[in-house]
Amino acid sequence: MSIDAKAIADLRSAVRGRVIAPEDADYDEARTIFYGGIDRRPGAIIRVADADDVRRVISVAQDSGVELAVRSGGHSFAGHSLSEGGIVLDLKDMRALDIDPEHRTAWAETGLTAGEYTTAAGEHGLATGFGDTGSVGIGGLTLGGGVGFLVRKFGLTIDDLLAAELVTADGRLLHTDAEKYPDLFWAIRGGGGNFGVATRFQFRMHRVDEFVGGLLILPATPAVVAGFMAEAGSAPDELSTIANVMPAPPMPMVPEELHGRLSVFAFLAFAGGVEDGERAIAPFRKLAPPLADLVRPMRYPEMYQPEEGGYHPTAVARTLLVDTIDEAVAQDIVARLEASDAPLRVAQLRVLGGAMSRVPPGATAFAHRTNRIMVNLAAFYEGPEDRAVREAWVVEFEAALRQGDAGVYVNFLGDEGAAQVRRAYPGGTWDRLAAVKRRYDPTNFFHVNQNIPPGK
């Protein structure tokens, strides 16, 4: 159901924040999300100012029967931060960050991006691990789990989540932590936006004042890819890596004759002393003469690369979890990437383990604690016909790489249907989440997400 003029008027008088409707000059900008190709026209976008605004927006949406989408950083692959005709509750203006350096904790409003939080925390020599991209919202990233540059050293983002404030479907603002509403606290650590609108998170912070990291670009032969994975798997926990096997982009640090050649475009992140870091990174440099080597002692926030505004790629993607990428698997990866003529295609390989794997699978709703490698496959497309070709390619690629575990990471899912969402929650996790959903959102009011319907 679409929002009508009366509901928009009700919203304008009810909230402290801003109501942006189709007739407003910045409407098109306000409805733009990170991914291109998702062109929905919400009836109203509400830039909430505080938790009271969140309660009011929920109440108007409930009373008028209008669909509600929730947006923090707007990076959902599935476009879940936009509604066609409904209301978008946008947390972009809720970006307060209150750091307590003495106790190494922070209360962060959920409209903050990973980059904003990390830059501010870095001023104190502190960090909480998020993902690999500064513009991603801490809202969506945290609620799905959060796998990034510090995953092996400190675990997932949710492993540093100490408490959260959340407005539930009945309009209550709940403070949840290990003691208060522990079922809810378990569910929001991986269960996404199914249980309410998170307004603030409290995070543990870590001292990360010595750090070695950056980009290492190697030629992508099967031996290099397999060697990289072997080194990353046996490296100390301080080292987390994200290796993108993809055509070398036309960047100034890559010699022009290598542009477009398949490369391992790898981010290395060593959260520890400089000498130990150099030692841990040395084997990667020996895999092949690097095409570019930008790994150096740096401040941790520098890991976030500058981003171009106005960049809205159209891409199809698949995510999976595997245990080994040996030379035979690497051979297949390289061959499939070579065979595609998509303008950009990538196999992103993230070696897991370390602190993340020491948390028991049942401790949080993100339960994939024992898988050793996360793989994300993506191809950019141009137009609907090309989309079908690229989608067939990623689907086939995914099927070829599966190694018995059907699991997926919810934050890398697109609009792939209910069966895929189910795979994000293995074992008893799904039933437990459905029971929590029934307790806090029995009518499935929060359904514009990777949805977990209420259990019977």
* Site residues, ligand FAD (CB under 6 A): 34, 70-77, 80-81, 91, 110, 131-133, 136-137, 139-141, 143-148, 192-193, 197-198, 411-412, 449
Q: Which residue has tokens 């309660």? A: 55
Name residue 126's amino acid: L
Nearest CB to ligand FAD, comparing residues 219 and 268: 268
Alpha helices in 51-170 (DSSP H): 51-64, 114-122, 138-144, 151-154
Question: What gap in Å lies between CA 277 and CA 239, rounded to an integer?
Answer: 8
Q: Is 257 helix (H, G, I), strand (E, B) or coil?
A: helix
Query: Considering beta carbons, is residue 60 or 138 the nearer one to ligand FAD?
Result: 138
Q: How far is the CB of 142 from ligand FAD (least distance, A)?
A: 8
Q: Smaller CB distance to ligand FAD: residue 70 or 243?
A: 70
Nearer to ligand FAD, 80 or 336 (CB): 80
Best CA proximity match to 267, nearest among 297, 293, 237, 288 = 293
CB of 75 to ligand FAD, least distance (A): 3
Specify the residue, 181 or 219, whose C-beta has the smaller distance to ligand FAD: 181
Least distance to ligand FAD, CB of residue 32, Å: 12
Return the H-helix or E-strand segment holding 452: none
Is the separation of the CB atoms in 158 and 189 below 8 Å? yes
Q: Which is nearer to ligand FAD, 81 or 371 (CB)?
A: 81
Q: What tokens were used for 240?
A: 């987390």
Find residue 297's DSSP bridge partners: 212
In this structure, what is the dihedral angle of CA atoms 394, 370, 194, 415, given to the nearest 10 degrees? 0
Min dist CB 42 to ligand FAD, Å, is: 13
Q: With respect to ligand FAD, which residue has the nearer C-beta, 60 or 70?
A: 70
Instruction: Kindly state the smallest distance separating residue 288's Cβ from ligand FAD, in Å.
Output: 25
CB of 6 to ligand FAD, least distance (A): 25
CB closer to ligand FAD out of 34 and 227: 34
Buried b or exposed e, range 141-173, using 16+ CB within 10 angstroms = bbbbbbbbbbbbbbbbbbbbbebbbbbbbbeeb
Residue 161, φ and ψ in degrees, nearest 5: -85, 120
Q: How far is the CB of 256 from ligand FAD (least distance, A)?
A: 26
Q: Are strands 292-293 and 296-297 parallel, antiparallel or unpaired?
A: unpaired
For residues 227 and 429, which CB has a smaller minimum distance to ligand FAD in the complex?
A: 429
Residue 161 vs residues 50, 198, 441: alpha-carbon distances, Å: 21, 12, 22
Residue least distant from ligand FAD (Cβ): 140
Answer whether 161's CB lies under 8 Å from 142's CB: yes
**Tokens (6 digits) for 449:** 């997400």
Closer residue to ligand FAD, CB minimum distance, 147 or 329: 147
Instruction: Write down the least CB distance from residue 276 to ligand FAD, Å.
Output: 24
Nearest CA among 311, 321, 310, 433 for reference residue 377: 321
- Least Å distance, CB 248 to ligand FAD, is 19
Residues with Cβ within 8 Å of 372's Cβ and at least 6 positions away in sequence, in order, are: 233, 322, 323, 324, 351, 352, 353
Shortest gap between Cβ of 113 and ligand FAD (angstroms)? 7
Spatial distance between the Cα atoms of 393 and 325, rounded to a whole number of angstroms: 20
Minimum CB distance to ligand FAD, residue 413 (Å) = 9
Instruction: Count the helix, strand and coil residues of the chain and give each as a percent rounded to the nearest 5.
Output: 35, 25, 45
Residue placing its CB nearer to ligand FAD in the complex, 118 or 449: 449
Query: From the CA atom positions of the chain, what is the Rg in Å?
Result: 22
